[in-house]
Structure 1
Amino acid sequence: MTIATTERLVLRDWTESPEDLARIYDIYSREEVMRWLGGGAGRMTDPAQARERVDRWRERYGPYAGRWGIWAIAPRDADRVAGSVLLKPLPGRDGVTPTDDIEVGWHLHPDSQGHGYATEAARAVLAREFATGTPQVYAVVMAGNEPSMAVARRLGMTHLGVRTDWYGGAELETFVLRRPA
């Protein structure tokens, strides 16, 4: 299912197609990607884990009927997905229980970084979310992930400093964007 489109991108559900599964594995098995996602926890080591990941995403985000989830960023002029964009409730200090705080995020394959895809995809899902009345959305970034902090700034997000409100109390650089008036 397509959830949003932009001039250059189609944001859609990840599928169980061989191409999507191979790309998921290629993204989420890479140390250079996973080190910024919980310090590498959840890094794939077997291609079969890609199907499990899609199933887990469907189970976790299915009840939200497309409002929240993790979606493939598919450039219109490319034959492969660039990465993922996500919009979801942030997990609390226990690392599991969803809070009322909403997070936007992005995970791109290294070969797709530096093209503006993360910023463009995040703008699209932010616009959708703000249209529902959500007053603000957060981005949380591990210290040292300068490219992701730059995306947050390009989105117009305000840096709030380091916070420990979510993901089991991890210290995360926190950015917020408030719904336009």
Structure 2
Amino acid sequence: MTVLITERLLLRDWTDSPADLDRIFDIYSRDEVVRWLGVASGLPLTEPAQAADRLALWRDRHADHGDRYGTWAMQERRTGLVVGSLLLKPLPGPDESVPTDDIEVGWHLHPDSWGHGYATEAARAVLAREFATGTREVYAVVSPGNEPSMAVARRLGMTHVGQRTDWYGGELLETFVRRADD
């Protein structure tokens, strides 16, 4: 199902098609991608069959959210290439099984798609949609040292509010916030 369309991208549900599962594995088996996704992420994927498990985890996580929250494929409209994932979801608290009221936007791109502005374009569209629902603020949490993701947050008009340990089991994260009235 298509969630949003931007100038260059289609944000859609990941499917269990062989092409999508191959791309999930290709993205989430790469050290240069998963090194920024936290120690408790269960990554990197080491076997192609694990892509189906990752997809099932995302579907379970967002089963009660309709299309408001999700982990979506970012697909380049011109070529059909899936460039990565965009997520919008409630942040998990110190007990990762319990979501908070804080909303997170995030992006995970394949290295062949870095530097093209895809994360900024997709996240900007999702933020606009989320703010239209009445949400007052959305966070981006970034592993310390991940300068490219911090640059995306800044391009989105997000303000760096320091390091926090409120989410993801207390992991230290650089935190950015964008408020609806910014």
Normalising by the smaller structure, the TM-score range is: over 0.9
Report the CA distance between 1:41 and its aligned residue: 3.6
**Bigger helix share:** 1
How far did residue 95 of structure 1 move? 2.2
User: Deviations 1:49-84 (Å, cap 9, x if unpaired)?
Assistant: 111111121111021001001000001122320000
Equivalence for 1:169: 170
Give the SS at the match of 1:63: coil
Percent identity of equivalent pairs:
69
Is the Cα–Cα contact under 8 Å of residues 34 and 41 in structure 1 kept in the other structure?
Answer: no
DSSP 3-state at the match of 1:150:
helix
Aligned to 1:29: 29
Task: Give, in angstroms, the shift of residue 42 of structure 1.
Answer: 2.2
* Alignment: residue pair count: 181
Q: Which runs of 5+ in 1 are unaligned?
A: none
C-alpha contact 1:19 1:80 (8 A) present in aligned 2:
no
Please state how far the C-alpha of 1:44 moved relative to its aligned partner: 0.4
User: For residue 51 of structure 2, what is the aligned residue in structure 1?
Assistant: 50
Secondary structure, aligned partner of 2:105 = strand
Structure 2 residues without counterparts, runs of 5 or longer: none
Q: What's the TM-score once normalised by structure 2's chain length?
A: 0.96
Q: CA RMSD in A?
A: 1.1
Residue-by-residue CA offset, 1:23-51 (whole Å, 9 max, x unaligned): 00000000100000004642100000111
TM-score relative to the length of structure 1: 0.97
**Partner in structure 1 of residue 19 of structure 2:** 19
Shift of 1:138: 0.2
Match runs of 1:115-154 below 5 Å? 115-154=116-155
